[in-house]
Amino acid sequence: MDNWIWLIILAIGSFSTTFGLTWFLSKFFLKKGIYGHDVHKLDRPKVAEMGGVGLVIVLILASLSSLFIFPEFREHFIVGLIVILLVAAIGVWDDLKTLGPITKPFLLLFPGLPIIIWQLIVNPQLQPSELLLFSPTPYLPLIGSVRITYVYWLLIPIAITVLSNTSNMLDVMNGSTPATMLFVSGTGIISTIVLHLFGVTTLPGMVFSIILFSCLFAFFWFNKYPAKIFCGDTGSLTIGAVIALVAIFGRIEIIILVAMMPQIMNSFQIIHSVKGFRERREIKERPTKLLDDERVAANSSLKAPLTLTRWIVARKPLKENEIVLTMGIISFVSCLLAIFTMLMIIVAI
């Protein structure tokens, strides 16, 4: 019972701290000249950038608190904290200096290494009786756990770089990141709790999903249309990395993969349509265009990249908030499929 009380306290603390910090940063960054222009408004208003810094600060504080609240999982939170710090540092670098389209995903392979290194030091044979930061036996629907020991080691850095980048690549509209990732983190909460009740050790993943959900819920009020602050690469990359931690520590890899399908498909569509990795600023043809009434329309050019946004407005132009609502609905449906996947996993346990 004590654990549930602490989880509620962590949720309330993460929400309230993120809310207050984001409110402060939305004004502070604007005064300090750290802002971007909202390109989906005709007057292109100035909006504070790097709002993800607030999210990162709260994630760090919540992770440090979890070290003491759940001492039996101390190593998970230490390693998770290191991953968050490394991804956030790459995000800050990208926000301030702009990393190349190859450099960014390459650098994002490194934050996953602390998980591997720590596990190699303390329990390289992955003995169940000793520390396990992860289990190389992911659960598959209707099949149960499947051992993929050697492959799993390789998948850890790939998972972090892929989910970080996919989260980042859908951060294109006011509120698009929190509106979609709230459902994903919510799916993480439900799945880890249910699997926990069935005897699967998921507490570290559960904690990270609850913290992230609470942070995103608070951040949404400032990032939703019309945005008072942008997430920035600092935030969107870190959000994706935490989702990867939820998947790994919570043993819900396949569930998160299904929940993240809209983000993953959006990323691969972009990469395929522009024939490789390209920095957003390098793409001359934009996927959409802004009309005089502030509706967003699809760019009919064959050279324009295929994105989720372009697909949504392919039939008719929509307002920005309507596009984000549609993104949220798509993410919600994907997360329902993820919950169904969880139920099929439970059948096999």
Query: What CA–CA distance (Å, rounded) separates 165 from 105?
Result: 7
Q: Is residue 139 part of a domain?
A: no
Q: Is residue 130 part of a domain?
A: no
What are the Cα distances from residue 195, in Å, to 184, 279, 296, 326?
16, 39, 42, 30
Phi, then psi, of 290 in degrees rounded to 5: -95, 125
Between CA 235 and CA 174, with CA 270 as vertex, the angle to 5 degrees is 40
Helices (H), the chain: 2-31, 52-69, 74-97, 103-107, 113-122, 149-169, 176-197, 203-223, 232-249, 253-259, 261-273, 308-312, 320-348
Can you name the residues that pair with 145 across neighbouring β-strands?
Answer: 139
CB 198 within 8 A of CB 153: no
Q: How does pLDDT run across 291-323, given as a tens digit for each residue?
A: 999 999 999 888 888 999 999 999 999 999 999
3-state secondary structure of 120: helix
Residue reference for tokens 């346990």:
349
Q: Is residue 8 part of a domain?
A: yes
**Domain that includes residue 194, residue range:** 2-115+154-255
Q: Is residue 49 part of a domain?
A: yes
- DSSP letter for 224, please: S
Q: What is the mean pLDDT of the chain?
A: 94
Q: Is residue 85 part of a domain?
A: yes
Q: How does pLDDT run across 100-118, given as a tens digit for each residue?
A: 888 999 999 999 999 999 9
215: phi > 0 → left, psi -120 to 50 → alpha, else beta; which?
alpha
Tokens in use for 225? 């249309």
Summarize the confidence of residues 194-206 as an average pLDDT.
93
Q: Is residue 286 part of a domain?
A: no
Q: How does pLDDT run across 139-184, given as a tens digit for each residue?
A: 999 999 999 999 999 999 999 999 999 999 999 999 999 999 999 9
- What is the structure's pLDDT at 281? 64
More confident residue, 248 or 270: 248
Question: Which of 91, 24, 10 has the alpha carbon at shortest distance from 54?
Answer: 24
Task: Please state the domain count of the chain.
Answer: 1
The pTM (predicted TM-score) of the whole model is: 0.95
Q: Is residue 158 part of a domain?
A: yes
Query: What CA–CA distance (Å, rounded) separates 341 from 338?
Result: 5
